[in-house]
Amino acid sequence: MSPSIPLQEMIRAIRSARTQCEERGVIQRECAAIRAQFRQVDNGGARSHNLAKLLYVHMLGYPAHFGQMECVRMIASPRYSEKRVGYLGAMMLLDEKQDASLLITNSIKNDLAHSNQYVQSLALCTLACMGSAEMCRDLAPEIDRLLRASNSYIKKKAALCAVHIVRKVHDLGELFAPAARSLLAEKNHGVLHGAVVLITQLCERNPEALERFRKTVPDLVQIMKGLVISGYSPEHDVAGISDPFLQVRILRLLRILGRHNETASDAMNDLLAQVATNTDSTKTVGNAVLYETVLTVLDIKSESGLRVLAVNILGRFLLNNDRNIRYIAMTSLQRIVGTDHNAVQRHRGTIVDCLKDQDASVKRRALELSLALVSASNIRTMMKELLLFLSSCPPELRAQAASGIFHAAERYAPSQRWHIDTILHVLTTAGGDVRDETVPNLIQLITNTSELHCYTVHKLYRALLTDISQPSLVQVACWCIGEYGDLLLKGECQETEPSQVTEDDALDALETVLQSHMSSPATRGFALTATMKLSTRITENVDRIRSIVSIYGSCMDVELQQRAVEYNALFRKYDHMRAAVLERMPVIEKNSSGHTNGETAGDAVKEIQPAAVKQTGPLLPQQPANQVCDLLDLLGGSEEPLQPSTALGLPNSTSTAGGDLLDLLGGLELTPLAPAPTVPVYEKDGVSLTLICEKTSDSGMTVTLTASNSTDSDISVFTLQAAVPKSVQLHMKAPSGDFLPARGAAKVTQMVALNNPNKVNLKMRIRISYNTSQGSAYQDTVQIDSFPGL
Amino acid sequence: MQFMLLFSRQGKLRLQKWYVPLSDKEKKKITRELVQTVLARKPKMCSFLEWRDLKVVYKRYASLYFCCAIEEQDNELITLEIIHRYVELLDKYFGSVCELDIIFNFEKAYFILDEFLLGGEAQETSKKNVLKAIEQADLLQEPRHEYFNVPVY
């Protein structure tokens, strides 16, 4: 067996390997040798050497698990060099998930009590790096002992080891609290630093500990003052700041202790002011301390003067040449933009400038902060900047920018036209990154601003001509052209330059969208429906529309095919209804819960679809999902064809508010359009009976009988009985009551359902019986031979 | 600190110190992704980036990238100072340190790091004290009697 080469030789050999394959070869050879060496009991000083080689190989990414047991053995060795490498190996190869890690617990325990502090240090370091919860529990008492009675070198390490233990096993925090407290009295900076970190950890975990440690605030302030004011200490000085690491940790602990607590905050006010003003901010290290100070001031209950000082420091950071400092400043400003909005507003200019920075992280921060700073007063200027940013921003920020812009526009839009313009601008620049709700939201917005319909449709038409690649924009444009095509063709428009758009132009545009490979099926659906709608708004090219629609009747896409077939049927069989069905949409109400109107409509559409395709029943124009669902519901609900007379009646009514349209359509289901006449059938002794007839189906009808009493005395026990020819089925529903008060104060109604399948001449005999107020019973009969409305 | 990585301009790992328990596979994945992300940054860019749910602070010294992943509450600027302090310690120990020193004496680099940071936090804020401790520990190393008569490493 060839002897293994020294570590550095091996490293050299690996580095000089010219190919991956060669490297693998060297490593395999070495690993084999190392394995063999491990199996030997003792080979002098070469053991640590071999393990080191294995660790190097491990760092290159090769498997090294066969070294785990060797680590355990090395740690138990009495020789320092072997222990050193053994512990290093343990930290690299053994983590708490490995079973072998438990085997070193005993070794660590022994080494923690070793006479040589450097051995103790190895054990402490390893425990703090990879100690599992079990190991921590076992060894916690040892650590506590070391915290109290050892030299500074060990104490500082024990403190940080305790931090790790508390992170792993929260309950053990209680164990270390007293020792931590007493460590604050030490002079050694390392120990102080460790103590502060430990106390921070205890306070973060346990609110009770936090309460107790608040008493240390004066001590901490004292220590801090010592660092800030005292003279030059060469050992701890970094660019003029005395021990910045310790200062930062103390400031962080003060932040935790002062939060939500007036007294503690007061106690540290002066100190914070002093640090904020005296710290030299020319180098990064000074800025690090200032940064921590600012974070503390903003988080505790500080006086307003101090807060202003802190925000001003952040303002200065924003102007710093160092990009890191600018980034830090914006991160901090983001935290306080909610609470100290005005203070941050003062720096808006600088923040907006940072939108143009080269660095993507800085850009992101600037974007978030800018969006937070948008308000009603600065909306126009801010939006200009934001839209400029959007056109040149990195792709990963586009979606965030677009949705932020929409949100801001919605909240602070100074005018409707501005709002629509802004949304259109976003759609043209970043249409691919906007969310799906944008399309229905925009459509809803457009329908609401009726005075701008003309302007909007002209703008969208022009946008469509230039670019049909942005799906959201194309969908909205198609919808508008379909809906407001008449305004587009009219040519003149107040808000924008007039342009002559012919019917052919409009149809060309829509056809381009239909045929383009860039259009998604949803977009094509929009375009097809828009084309169909135009058939009622244009006069000359209806045939062209018919041909377009019939072509798509054999389209591969099922959705389009279905729509086309239905529209075709609308042309052929229901031409009389076409105008009504394709009329201008009523104003869409925004669904406040944030769901698009499309969701509910979608369901309604799905139910009715199977019925509508093949039957002769009324057709269901497939509007885009965001249309008013009621319209679809009602048209789909009724099964029989609507009367011609009723359809003609509709166009008149749509000139009024949209709600009427829906009501009337709802009425179509049950009654003829004109309200049915009320026919008096009986009048005697002050008691009158009237009748209303409603046809409910082909052979069925409902007769409503209404009785009233115009005498001066009440009538009680009022009942009606009815009889009809044999083939007619009769069902009397329960009356509304049997008491008729005097002078027509109230009426009694009763509904009678009749079914006349043989269509015989309908006659009905009604017997009326009641008691007068004097108590006498009264009866009468009446025959009804003709029922108006049938 | 959750972990510290040192890697070259070509993405070769020179030192990795993990203060959180992760499986080997996870460590490899994180290393690969983070190295790619940092190497893709342009020279003048910010030293801080948000990566997954961590804050990453990195700085390039000659041909080596020093990269630390810190938690939400940690101070980024002081982390830059910690990185700088570590470089200073290496420099003092090796005498004008370069990447090759760290390659051929990687275990020394670890020992120095372990005297400066413990459990992810700075344990000694005085440069002098850290170097003194390393010196003393080195003296404890038993000289190696073995077959090639090369000096103690």
- Give residues with Cβ within 8 angstroms of A365, minimum separation 6: A327, A330, A331, A334, A354
β partners of residue A719: A769
Based on its alpha-carbon atoms, the radius of gyration of chain B, rounded to whole angstroms, reads: 16
> Which residues in chain A are closer than 8 Å to B153, comparing Cβ atoms?
6-8, 49
- Find the CB nearest B28 among A61, A194, A325: A61
Is residue B144 pLDDT above 70, yes or no?
Answer: no
The minimum CA-CA distance between B95 and chain A, rounded to whole Å, is 19
**Residue A46 touches partner B, C-beta closer than 8 Å:** yes
Do the domain assignments include residue A521? yes
Distance CA A209, CA A205 (A): 8
**Facing residue for A80 by CB, picked from B14, B47, B140:** B140
List the single residue in A132, A194, A287 with the smallest CB-CB distance to B123. Answer: A194
Apex A341 CA angle, A337 and A344, nearest 5? 75
Q: Does residue A778 lie in a domain region?
A: yes
Q: Which of residues 91-110 of B touch A (CB under 8 A)?
A: 103-104, 106-107, 110
Token pair 């708004």: residue: A537
> Does residue A775 register a pLDDT over 80?
no
For B21, nearest residue in chain A (alpha carbons): A95
* Average pLDDT rounded to a whole number, residues B115-142: 93
Does the residue A749 lie in any domain? yes
DSSP-H helix ranges across A538-691: 542-551, 558-572, 575-581, 597-614, 629-637, 644-653, 658-670
* Complex-level ipTM: 0.93
**What pLDDT score does A175 carry?**
92
Establish if A563 belongs to a structural domain: yes
Residue A409 C-beta-side C-alpha neighbours within 13 Å: 26
CB A67 within 8 A of CB A91: no
Query: How many domains does chain A divide into?
Result: 2
Separation between Cα atoms, residue B89 and residue B116, nearest integer Å = 9
Last residue of a domain, one of A529, A557, A581: A581
For chain A, the C-alpha Rg in angstroms (whole number) is 43
CA angle A347, A351, A357 (to 5 degrees): 150
Side chain identity at residue A613, one-letter code? V
For residue A635, is pLDDT > 80? no
Question: Which residues have CB under 8 Å from B52's CB, separation 6+?
Answer: none
Here the CATH number for the domain that contains residue A757 is 2.60.40.1230
In a domain, A649, yes or no: no
A189: chain B residues, CB-CB within 8 Å:
124-126
Chain B, residues 68-87, CB within 8 A of chain A, namely: 73, 75-78, 80-82, 85
From chain A, pick out residues whose CB is under 8 angstroms from the CB of B21.
95-97, 130, 132
Contact between A189 and B126 using a beta-carbon 8 Å cutoff: yes
Residues A457 and A577 in one domain: yes
Q: Which distant-in-sequence residues (6+ apart) come within 8 Å of A128 by Cβ? A: A157, A160, A161, A163, A164, B118, B119
CA A612 → CA A391, A638, B3, B28, distances in Å?
46, 11, 65, 59
Is the model more confident about A344 or about A431?
A344
Q: pLDDT tens digit string along A457-483?
A: 888 888 888 877 788 888 888 888 888
Q: How far is CA A638 from CA A38, A342, A610, A616, in A?
A: 88, 60, 14, 12
Q: Is the torsion defined by CA of A231, A216, A272, A245 positive or negative? A: positive
- 3-state SS, residue A648: helix
User: Among A29-43, A436-450, A559-573, A601-615, which is the least confidently predicted range?
Assistant: A601-615
Predicted confidence (pLDDT) at residue A272 exceeds the cutoff of 90: yes
Q: Residue A191: inside a domain, yes or no?
A: no
User: Which residue reads 């931090």 in tokens?
Assistant: A163
Amino acid type, A251: L
CB within 8 Å: B118 and A125: yes
CB-based contact A290:A228 (threshold 8 Å):
no
Minimum distance, in Å, between the CA of residue A194 and any CA atom of chain B: 6
List, as one string, the DSSP characters of A298-335.
HHTT--HHHHHHHHHHHHHHHT-S-HHHHHHHHHHHHH
Distances from the Cα of A706 to the Cα of A132, A205, A749, A772, angstroms: 87, 78, 4, 18
For residue B123, what pLDDT is reported?
94
Q: Clarify whether residues A572 and A694 are in a common domain.
A: no
Is the minimum CB–CB distance between B13 and chain A shorter than 8 Å? Answer: yes
Chain segment B108-124, per-residue pLDDT in tens: 999 999 999 999 999 99
Q: CA-to-CA distance for A353 and A362, rounded, in angstroms?
A: 11
Amino acid symbol at B88:
E
The dihedrals phi and psi of A619, each to the nearest 5 degrees, come to: -80, 160
Show which of residues 153-192 on chain A sit within 8 Å of chain B, judged by CB atoms: 153, 156-157, 160-161, 163-164, 189-190
CB atoms within 10 A of CB A203: 24
Minimal CA–CA distance to A75: which of A102, A57, A53, A96?
A102
CA A582 to the chain's CA centroid: 36
CA distance A740 to A689: 12
pLDDT score recorded for residue B135? 94
Do residues A458 and A570 share a domain?
yes
Task: Scan residues 222-281 of A and list those with Cβ closer than 8 Å to B.
Answer: 235-236, 238, 243-246, 248, 252
Contact B77 A291 (CB under 8 A): yes
Q: Residues of chain A with pLDDT > 70: what percent?
A: 86
pLDDT in tens, A488-543: 877 666 666 767 778 888 888 888 888 888 888 888 888 888 888 888 887 777 88
- Take residue B146 and report the two structure tokens written for it: 């073995």
User: In this predicted structure, what is the pLDDT of residue A603?
Assistant: 36
Q: Is B61 on the interface with A (CB under 8 A)?
A: no
Could you tell me if A480 and A463 are in contact, meaning their C-beta atoms sit under 8 angstroms apart? no
Residue in A52, A56, A324 nearest the CB of B48: A324
Alpha-carbon gap, residue A158 to A147, rounded angstroms: 6
Decide if A180 contacts A163 (C-beta within 8 A).
Answer: no
**What confidence score (pLDDT) does residue A237 get?**
87
Residues 644-703 of chain A with CB under 8 A from chain B are none
Question: How close is the nearest chain A Cα to the Cα of B69, in Å?
Answer: 15
A193 to B145: CB separation less than 8 angstroms, yes or no: no
Residues of A in contact with B42 (CB under 8 A): 358
Contact by Cβ (8 Å): A74, A47:
yes
Residue range A121-140: average pLDDT? 93
B47: nearest CB among A153, A288, A324: A324
Say if residue A454 is in the same domain as residue A574.
Answer: yes
Q: Are residues A455 and A576 in the same domain?
A: yes
Q: Cβ A6–B118 below 8 Å, yes or no? A: no
> Residue A648's pLDDT is what?
34
**How far is the alpha carbon of B36 from chain A, nearest alpha carbon, in Å?**
16
In this prediction the pTM is 0.70
Backbone angles phi, psi at A98, to 5 degrees: -85, 145
Q: Is residue A10 part of a domain?
A: no
Closest CA to A44 of B1, B5, B143: B143
> What ranges in A149-216 are assigned the alpha helix state H?
152-168, 173-183, 189-205, 207-213
In a domain, A298, yes or no: no
Backbone phi, then psi, for B68, in 5-degree steps? -125, 140
> Domain span at residue A686?
678-784
Inter-chain contact B104–A8, Cβ cutoff 8 Å? yes
Q: Which of A522, A557, A581 is the last residue of a domain?
A: A581
Find which of A327-331, A595-599, A673-677, B113-117 is predicted with most confidence, using mean pLDDT.
B113-117
Domains located in chain B, CATH noted: 3-143 (3.30.450.60)
Average pLDDT for B60-84: 94
Mean pLDDT of A774-787: 83
A13 touches B: beta carbon within 8 Å? no
- Mean pLDDT lowest among A19-33, A60-74, A128-142, A764-778: A764-778
User: Which one of A530, A547, A581 terminates a domain?
Assistant: A581
What is the rounded CA–CA span in Å between residue A277 and residue A309? 9
> pLDDT band at residue B37, thresholds of 50, 70 and 90?
very high
Helix (H) or strand (E) holding A483, with range, is helix A471-483
